[in-house]
Structure 1
Amino acid sequence: MNYNLNQTATAAEQKKSTLAALRKLLDLIREEKRTLILAFIIIFINAGLSLLGPYLIGHTIDTYIQSKQYDGVIRYSAILLVLYMVAFATNYLQMIMMGGVGIRMLYSLRNAVFTKLQELPVDFFNQNKAGDLISRINNDTDKLNQFFSQSLMQFISSIFTMLGAGIFLLSINLELGSAALLPALIIWIFTKAISPWVKRKNAANLKSTGGLSAEIQESLNNFKVIIAFNRRDYFRKRFDEANQKNYSTAVSAGLANNIFTPVFGFSSNLGQLVVLAFGIYLITTGSFTIGLLISFLAYVNSFYHPLRQLAGLWANFQVAMAGWDRISQILSLDTNLEVIENSISEPASSYLSFRDVSFTYPNGKEVLHHVNFNLERGKTYAFVGPTGGGKTTTASLIARLYDATTGTILLDGKDIRSYHPEERTNKIGFILQEPFLFTGTVRDNILYGNPEYKNLSNDELAAVIKESGLESLLSRFDSGLDSKVQTTGDGISLGQKQLIAFMRSVLRKPELLILDEATANIDTITEQLLENILQKLPATTTRVIIAHRLNTIENADEIFFVNSGEVVPAGSLADAVNLLLHGKRES
């Protein structure tokens, strides 16, 4: 399955994806429905109060100021003061409410994205850079939060104010109102035509920001190698290229976002000019008053000032939607490792069986071709072969990191796809050549994947480790279970990391234990110690060893040779050596 997030989708796919994404966005803020409705009501009240002011000012001028009735002026001034104070309070209240909505939405959205990432298969992470995914979780979600918490209510308030001002303009004088609103038609046509282009520019900028983040992460993660080979120039060049691309897209996005402001400003000035010229003409004909003209100019300003604000808000909206498109790409994905319900079981003659299994990586060549073999319970099997022959792929299929392209893998008589992840991982232990640890202590990393021990004290856990024959491994750490583990520092060697991973897997007592070059970074004495520990595993535990060092497989019950898409019995250790030397199966 293709999980490449940077692959260009067709227009129809983008439209379908956007509609699905908007539905997901509404689901995320469903719990905020009551708060949003209340905020909308407050916005409506605020807009109504603000729009009532110009009419009262015009009425005061025509009725009281021209006739010099100053008691009426004072009375209406007090009314206006109360209106504006209430409008200030409602405006502040809706800002507080929407700020809370934005923060809660950001929290939920980041949780949703991270949870989705945890559900996706290894395929997804092979096809996408971690730095870009981090940028989507941090940067893109923040763009959406900024729009919701800062811009959305202002956006809606501007719409309400514009609609109300337009209604007042048309109701006071239809001809003058129509002339005043004519420039808005120009803005609508321009906005509709230019918005897709602005969104594309912002999407390109967010994508380049993700690429820049990926370059930074890669260079920092491999800094030791950069220093060792003195290749700062290489990564500096790659960073400069990514930074230059990000700079170019940022400039383009900035120009696109700012294109609305001058057009909206010109239309606003044009509308006011039309009202002033036409209004003075109507006054000279006796069909209009000075107070109404002042009110009219205030309503024109109430219509076009929010419109000028909408220029910036619409640009923010385009940025938010570009970010949401990138986020929704992740949320719309589903794992291709689905659990098959109601799978038929059969009597298990072998603990694990590959039946006519073929496997091809996305956009790659076939790695395994119609493979068949059986593994018996309680035996030790070794898989050997040249680099790139398919050994790790075979182990990954056994652990169901991937699904076979064709064929079936049976685990204890059941299709491996019928096991739920918890059930499958309880049966299978996997020790990688480069094990992943968390920053913390040895205890923290041992308990990862062994939740049944989490309530034990250090002494009780040490007793469990001793009972499993792992005490000698724990003694390699100066502070025992409290020894610090730094995944990015020099406080712990790669060999020690493998010892922790070994303890973590053995304590689970899995029915099937896979060791993928698990002793590659361990000295010969420690390797022999690990072999003795493996012998203490339950007699029913099946062991699968993938190795290049032949001394690690000399005690295997059966050896398989993996190369050129085939997995075939290799015979004795000497036969395996011969196959490795010749790189093929002898006929």
Structure 2
Amino acid sequence: MNYNLNNTDTNEQQSTSGKRLLKLLAYIKTEHRALLGVFGIMVISQTLTITVPYVVGYTIDHYVAHKDFSGILRCAGLLLAIFLVNLIFAYSQTLMMGKVGQRMLYMLRSALFVKLQELPIAFFNQNKTGDLISRINNDTDKMNQFFSQSLVQFASGIMSMIGAGIFLLSINWKLGIATLTPAILLLLFTRILSPLVKKRNAANMKSTGGMSAEIQESLSNFKVIIAFNRRDYFRKRFDQVNQQNYKTATAAGVLNNIFNPVFSFCSQIAMLAVLAYGIYLISAGEFTVGLLISYLSFSTYFYNPIRQLAILWTNFQMAMAGWDRISQILELETDLKVIPAGPAKENAPLISFQHVQFRYADSKEILKNVSFNMEQGKTYALVGPTGGGKTTTASLIARLYDPTEGQVLLNGRDIRSYTPEERTRKIGFILQEPFLFSGTIQENIVYGNPTYADYSATQLREVMEKVGLDALLERFEDGLATNIVSGNDGISLGQKQLIAFMRAVLRNPDLLVLDEATANIDTVTEQQLEAVLKKLPAHTTRVIIAHRLNTIENADEIFFVNNGEITRAGSFDHAMNMLLQHERNT
């Protein structure tokens, strides 16, 4: 399955925009009480605000013109009361929407992280870590900024425009039409340009994700950069992504900022029309000075929000572009589905490959029509040239991937019918490059193992002594309390493999897969590991992938893996002959 987020067709993205917007509304529904409260406050606030021009005009015509200072003071007191109420309402709106924005940010990031945990390894192989981090951090923050800062202003501006528009038309419909005509042109202009603005912002976010991925890759591999003195190479690569980000940011910035001057120009044209036509109506005796001032104020109340909406609309487009990138992840489904369990075959081998074929996304076929069995309690070795398919075979055994065709059976049942919890209890896997979490050794070796999750250090050490792991633990100065920082050089790769080994053995699995598990370990330590493996229960099956001959010479059965085929090698000598023959042929 293709999980590459950056290969999505543009037309396909546009066709799903409506569906994604509906999903966003579903998220907003969880905040319906807060939003209704904000909306109620906004209605009252805008109703009070829209009366201000009318009060000013009435004061001029009835009190200022007649020099009635007591009436002026009463109107001034009324305006002050309106302003104070609006101040309280504005603070309340900001506070409530700030909380809404933070809750939305929390929900989105939680949903993204949960979704990422559900997705298969194939997804992470096809997407760069830096880009995923950018989507979780940067793109969700764009959403938060819109909800916490822009949404209230956006809705408030729309309501102000509607209220002012009603007053403009009701006072004098001819002058109202002249005033509102530029707004119609702005609406058409915005509608035409918005898709392009969203596209440019999406491109900028994509390039930001690419730059984040490049930085993450460079920092993760900085030792290699230093060792090969290739700062120039990574500097050149960073310059390329930085230049690309600069170009997309500039293109997005130009479009993002085009609205404001255009909106301001149309606003000024409207004001000019009001002033010219209003003076004409005053000279004709159809208008008063106070009414014209009110009308100009209503025009300002209509066009000032439009100028703000120019910026807010850009923020909205950026938020929607971010939501599209977030939705790409949220819409994905794992291809490692759990299927209904059929009847298990009696007296079946522990593992059975039946006509298995496999290929990675956009790659050639790795395994071709492979069939073999592995019995319980035996030790199997997979040998063969680099790139022959050994690790792929082990990954299929542990169901890190599903076959393209064919079946993998575990205890006579399709391995796809086991839940992840059932499967991981039965199968232990030690990877070539074991991953450890920041924390103590104890926290790392009981990770995902509910049996020992609540054990004290003393209790856990007793368990480890019984299975022969105490000798390995002594290699760490502080024992189970040894602190580990992920990505830190304070612990060697060999030590990491020891911890991963202890973690896998403590699970007491039915099947233990060791993929080059002793590659970075000295011979003495390897002998200690062999002793531990011999103490495993008799029913435990071991699958060993190794290049060291002494590691595989005691295996019950050896498989030669090469060119998409898995062949029983028979004896150890026969397996070595097959390897030598392959080297001669290549």
Shorter-chain TM-score tier: over 0.9
**TM-score, structure 1 length as denominator?**
0.98
Q: Distance in 1 between matches of 2:476 and 2:307?
A: 66
Instruction: Specify the SS of the correspondent of 1:453.
Output: coil
**Alignment partners' CA distance in 2, 1:349 and 1:6:** 44
**Equivalence for 1:478:** 477
Equivalent in the alignment of 1:7 = 7
Structure 1 letter corresponding to 2:503? R
Query: Do structure 1's residue 98 and structure 2's residue 97 form an aligned pair?
Result: yes
Aligned to 2:42: 43
Provide the residue aligned with 1:26 in structure 2.
Answer: 25
What letter corresponds to residue 2 of structure 2 in structure 1?
N
- TM-score normalized with structure 2 length: 0.98
CA contact (8 A) 1:201 1:249 kept: yes
Determine if contact 1:353/1:374 at 8 Å carries over to the other structure.
yes
Question: Greater CA deviation, 22-31 or 401-410?
Answer: 22-31
Please list, as runs of the form range in 1=range in 2, the aligned pairs for 1:370-389 lying within 5 A after superposition.
Answer: 370-389=369-388
Q: Distance in 1 between matches of 2:555 and 2:467?
A: 22
Runs of 4+ in 1 over 6 A off after TM superposition: none
- Counterpart CA distance in 1 for 2:425 and 2:339 is 18
Q: Residue 127 in 1 paired to residue 126 in 2? A: yes
Structure 1 residues 268-320: Cα deviation after superposition (integer angstroms, max 9, x where no partner): 00110000000000111111111110000000000000000000001111111
Matches within 5 A, 1:386-397: 386-397=385-396
CA deviation map 1:143-166 (0-9, x unaligned) = 110010000110000000001100
The letter for the 2-side match of 1:425 is T
Alignment deviations for residues 193-237 of structure 1 (CA, whole Å, 9 cap, x no partner) = 111111111111111111111111111111111111111111111
Deviation, 1:89, is 1.1
Alignment check: 8 A CA contact 2:341 2:413 kept: no
Secondary structure of the equivalent of 2:30?
A: helix
1:327 equivalent to 2:326? Answer yes
Task: Give unpaired runs (5+ residues) of structure 2.
Answer: none
* 2:136 maps to 1:137: yes
SS at match of 1:583: helix
Task: Give a deviation string over 1:229-285, Cα, whole Å, max 9, x none.
Answer: 111111111111111111111111111110000000001001100000000001111
CA distance in 2, matches of 1:419, 1:290: 82
- Inter-partner Cα distance in structure 2 for 1:345 and 1:191: 63
Kindly tell me the number of residue pairs found equivalent between the two proteins: 585
Specify the alignment match of 1:338 in structure 2.
337
What code does the residue aligned with 1:23 have?
L
Taking the TM superposition and a 5 Å limit, the aligned residue runs for 1:313-324 are: 313-324=312-323
Deviation at 1:522, TM superposition (A): 0.5
Distance 1:152 1:343 in 2: 52
Name structure 1 gaps, 5 residues minimum: none
**CA–CA separation in structure 1 for the residues paired with 2:347 and 2:223:** 49
Hey, what's the Cα distance between the residues in 1 that align with 2:125 and 2:135? Answer: 17
**Equivalent runs, 1:482-521 vs 2, <5 Å:** 482-521=481-520
Deviation digits for residues 105-158 of structure 1, max 9, x if unmatched?
101100000110010001100100000000000011001100100001100000
Alpha carbons of 1:215 and 1:133: their partners in 2 closer, same or farther (altered >3 Å)? same
**CA–CA distance in 1 between the matches of 2:583 and 2:358?**
20
How far does residue 342 in structure 1 lie from its aligned partner after superposition?
A: 4.0
Task: Tell me the alpha carbon deviations over residues 355-390 of structure 1, each in whole angstroms, 9 at most, x when there is no partner.
Answer: 010001111100001100000011001111111100
Structure 1 residue 567: Cα displacement: 0.8
C-alpha distance in 2, partners of 1:289/1:36? 41
Letter of the 2:133 counterpart: I
Percent identical residues: 63
Report the more deviating stretch, 321-330 or 440-449.
440-449
Equivalent positions of 1:147-226 (< 5 A) are: 147-226=146-225
CA RMSD in angstroms comes to 1.3
The 5-angstrom pairing of residues 550-569 of structure 1 reads 550-569=549-568
Contact 1:17 1:329 in 2 (8 A): no
